[in-house]
Amino acid sequence: MNILILGSGGREHAFALKIADSKLTDKLYVAPGNSGTQEIATNIPININDFEQVKKKSLELGISMIIVGPEDPLVNGIHDFFAKDKETNSITIIGPKQNAASLEGSKDFAKKFLVRHKIPTARYATFTRENIKEGFKFLKTLTPPYVLKADGLAAGKGVLIIDSFDEAKSQLTEMLVGEKFGIASSKVVIEEFLDGIELSCFVLTDGVNYKVLPTAKDYKRIGEGDTGLNTGGMGAVSPVPFANKTLLNKIEQNIIIPTIEGLKKDNIEYQGFIFIGLINVNNNPKVIEYNVRMGDPETEVVLPRIQNDFVEIFQSFKNKTLDKIELNIDHRSAATVVLVSGGYPSSYNKGIKITGIDHVVDSTVYHAGAIREKENIYTNGGRVLAITSFGNNFQQALKNSYNSASKINFKGKYYRKDLGFDL
């Protein structure tokens, strides 16, 4: 069958490599794609949030399955758009419909879901500009630091963690009244700070059955020692070494099963990935967020460890037979190191020539913000490449990726050299 992947990051390159490998794939397209996907698929230069355009291309190319990489087309309702239309309703969409995507698109929706289904999460309350004074009162009931979250999508920037009460009050005002994150902060979730170590778990569901995928931990801050601004992610490891059987069992019993059952009880159809962000507080995992897609760069360590035919997995969604599939997981560790443009996540230059990718032999180089022009590859974004390696433990996997990272060069290249420091 012909398959279309939507997105242009390292995540989509990782999906493309898996899908290109499947015996069930005839032609593979990626929209808009990058220099990495271009090597194994055909890139389609369209706006993936313009659903009419995606539909037109899909019909033209005889697409039978669309894998949605990032969250915004899902939150904007791409699945509903294709399902409602007679010309496109036979195309399998990997990613949930709009109401389910609210688990990521609205923090308030996600918190209500968590509380309704008794899934462990931080204590919270939601405020608008109308009841901002109540918000100030609620802040008083919490101990610092204060966690303020814009309700809507804010490109990963909508969460503020603030030490002082006065600053929290003033930021709450900025968000609700000053529209700091535009419409996304017209509602703000304030929640209790959870002190612990973060990890992510990934679940694939056809709406009836689910499979738990390998865990991962990403590193969001730009600076070593987890300092400085938040980024999309500077690297990741899988599995998470402290996620032992007992913890994984707690996560499945207290979080994953109630999530899948909660979706059913609420009559929310869901097919696709659920990415659950967790904080482990004294061995009690609590949910900090749901994402309705895979993570980036987590995908670049989780997917390489899954040895199954991904098209076969996705095809099982049609008849809801995911339970018939047995996952075949590589038990080695995988680690990815993200090379970014100097200046990222603030301003940075694009169009800088990248050399040395061909010298890498022991790792997979996933392209992200990278573009090909004739014979050369140039930077085209903040996160440029993600370098994934295997090892018998995460230290060895990281060492292999760092070794490969040193072979690749572009002016302004930066990467964190301390990944795994906290494990």
- The site for ligand AMP (CB under 6 A) is made up of 122, 147, 149, 159, 161, 191, 193-194, 198, 220, 277, 288-289
Q: Does 151 bind ligand GLY (CB under 6 A)?
A: no
Strand 364-367 versus strand 235-238 pairing type: unpaired
Distance from CA of residue 369 to its chain's centroid?
16
Minimum distance from CB of 218 to ligand GLY (Å)? Answer: 5
The continuous run of DSSP H or E covering 278 comes out as strand 272-281
- Give me the 168-207 binding string for ligand GLY, x by CB under 6 A, dash otherwise: ----------------------------------------
CA dist., res. 44 & res. 417, Å (int): 35
Minimum distance from CB of 298 to ligand GLY (Å)? Answer: 6
296 contact choice in ligand AMP, ligand GLY, none (CB below 5 to 8 Å, kind-dependent):
ligand GLY
194 contact choice in ligand GLY, ligand AMP, none (CB below 5 to 8 Å, kind-dependent):
ligand AMP
The site for ligand GLY, by CB under 6 A, has a size of 7
The alpha carbon dihedral of 295, 299, 305, 310 has a sign of positive
CA dist., res. 301 & res. 239, Å (int): 8
Nearer Cβ to ligand AMP, position 232 or 381? Answer: 232
CA dist., res. 341 & res. 108, Å (int): 34
Nearer Cβ to ligand AMP, position 97 or 149? Answer: 149
Q: Does 300 bind ligand GLY (CB under 6 A)?
A: no
| The binder of ligand GLY chosen from 152, 295, 304, 382 (CB under 6 A) | 295
3-state class (DSSP) for residue 367: strand
Q: Does 215 bind ligand GLY (CB under 6 A)?
A: no
DSSP 216: B
Q: Does 233 bind ligand GLY (CB under 6 A)?
A: yes
Q: Does 104 bind ligand GLY (CB under 6 A)?
A: no
* Tokens 């490109």, located at residue: 155
Nearer Cβ to ligand AMP, position 164 or 355? Answer: 164
Nearer Cβ to ligand AMP, position 24 or 159? Answer: 159
CA dist., res. 122 & res. 124, Å (int): 6
Nearer Cβ to ligand GLY, position 144 or 196? Answer: 196
Minimum distance from CB of 264 to ligand AMP (Å)? Answer: 24
- Nearest-CA neighbor of 13 among 275, 297, 331, 341? 297
Q: What angle do CA 179, 291, 198 make, to 5 degrees?
A: 95
Of 129-137, 259-267, 292-300, 308-316: span binding ligand GLY (CB under 6 A)? 292-300
**What is the C-alpha R_g of the chain?**
21
CB 173 within 8 A of CB 179: no
Q: Does 298 bind ligand GLY (CB under 6 A)?
A: yes
CA dist., res. 33 & res. 48, Å (int): 11
Q: Contact positions toward ligand GLY, by CB under 6 A?
A: 218, 232-233, 291, 295-296, 298
